[in-house]
Amino acid sequence: MRALRLHRTRPFFFAAAALLSLAALGPVSCSGGSASDDEDDDDGSAEGAPEGALQGDCDDGVDNDDDGRVDCADSGCSDTPACDGGSDGTDGSDGSDGADGTDGTSNQPPIADAGDDIVGCSHGRVTLDGTGSYDPDGTIVAWDWDGGGGGSGARPETGVPDTEGSSVTYTLVVTDDDGAESAPDDVVITTNTEPRVTGDSATGDCWRGTVGDDDWRYYYWNDGCDSSCSCSITIDMDEPDDNLQSEWEYFGYAGVTSTSGARVTFGYVNCDRNSAVLSYGDACNDVGEGGRDFSLTMDCY
C-alpha cells in the first residue's frame, strides 16, 4: 500500500478559508495568471500535479492524477527512468529494450568471400569455394552463386569453359540467420592456356640453321670443331598460367652434357649427328601424354 501523500490532502477547513477569502475580495480576473488547480493539466488530470511529478509515481500501480492512465501508460511518465523513454508503457521506444525491438543492437550483414581466382582445364570441372564467408554476429545459412550454373552451397562444382584463355565470372551472395544478404563478391575461372615454344637460340661453337618449324630445329657445328667445342641451345617458352612441366630425352651419341630448364648443352662428338627432345606440358597436359615435343639436332654442315 502506498504511503500517505500529504501534498494531495486538502482538509475541509483549508477549502472553507479559501472560499471566504475569495468572497471578501470579490470577482478576480484570471488574465495573465496560471491555470487554477481545478483546471485540467497537460495530460488531462482533473486535479493535482501530473503523473511523474513525484518520485515513485511511474511504478506504483496507482492512477495518481485520476486521468485513467497508470504509470508508464501516462504521458507524464514518458521521460522518466522507470519507463526508459518509452511512450507506450514499456522500456524502449517501440515496446522493447532496443531501437529495433531486439536486444538493443542492429543485425550486421554477412561478408561474402568467393575465394581466389581459378585456372581450370578445358572441358574440366572445378570447385568454387565460399567457405571464407562469415557473419559477424550470427551464422550463414545460404550461399547463392550467380554465373554459369554455379548453383548453391559453400563448395559447389562447376564446369570450365572449353576455349583456352576464355573466362567466366561467378558472383557469390550469402544470407545469414536473420535474413540479411551480403554485398556480392566475384571469382573468375579462366581456361588453361597450353605452353608453347616461341623461339630458340644458341651460344658457343655452333649456329642455327634455317631448316625447322615449330616442333624441331637443326643446329650445326662451326667448321674446324673438335672435342673442345660446345653448344648451348635455349628454348624460349610461353606459359601464361605459370605451371610449365618439361623434361629432356637424348638420342644418338652422348652429345648432351647438361640440361637446365629449357636449355640443353651439346659437346662435340666426332661430328656425328646428335639429337635431344624437350617434352613439355602443364597441369592440364601431362608431359609425354597430352604435352608436346620440341626436337633439336646437332650436325656438321
Q: What is the pLDDT of residues 61-119, one digit of tens each?
A: 888 888 878 778 878 887 777 776 544 444 444 444 444 445 557 999 999 999 999 99
Domain assignment present for residue 156? The answer is: yes
Strand, helix or coil for residue 148: coil
Same domain for 267 and 200: yes
pLDDT at 238: 87
Residue 143 maps to which CATH number? 2.60.40.10
Q: Tell which of 106, 129, 159 closes a domain.
A: 106
For 170, the domain range is: 118-191
Same domain for 126 and 83: no
Domain assignment present for residue 224? The answer is: yes
pTM (2 d.p.)? 0.53
Q: Split the chain (301 residues) into runs of 10 and give each run's mean pLDDT.
A: 40 41 45 43 53 79 81 79 56 45 75 95 92 96 83 89 91 95 96 89 93 84 93 90 82 78 89 87 78 88 83
Same domain for 216 and 153: no
How many helices (H) and strands (E) in the chain? Answer: 1, 16
**E-only strand ranges, 12-124:** 118-120
User: How many domains is the chain built from?
Assistant: 3
Strand, helix or coil for residue 63: coil
Distance CA 155, CA 143 (A): 9
Q: In the chain, which residue ranges form alpha helices assigned H by DSSP?
A: 12-25
Please write the tens of the pLDDT for every residue from 111-139: 999 999 999 998 899 999 999 999 999 99
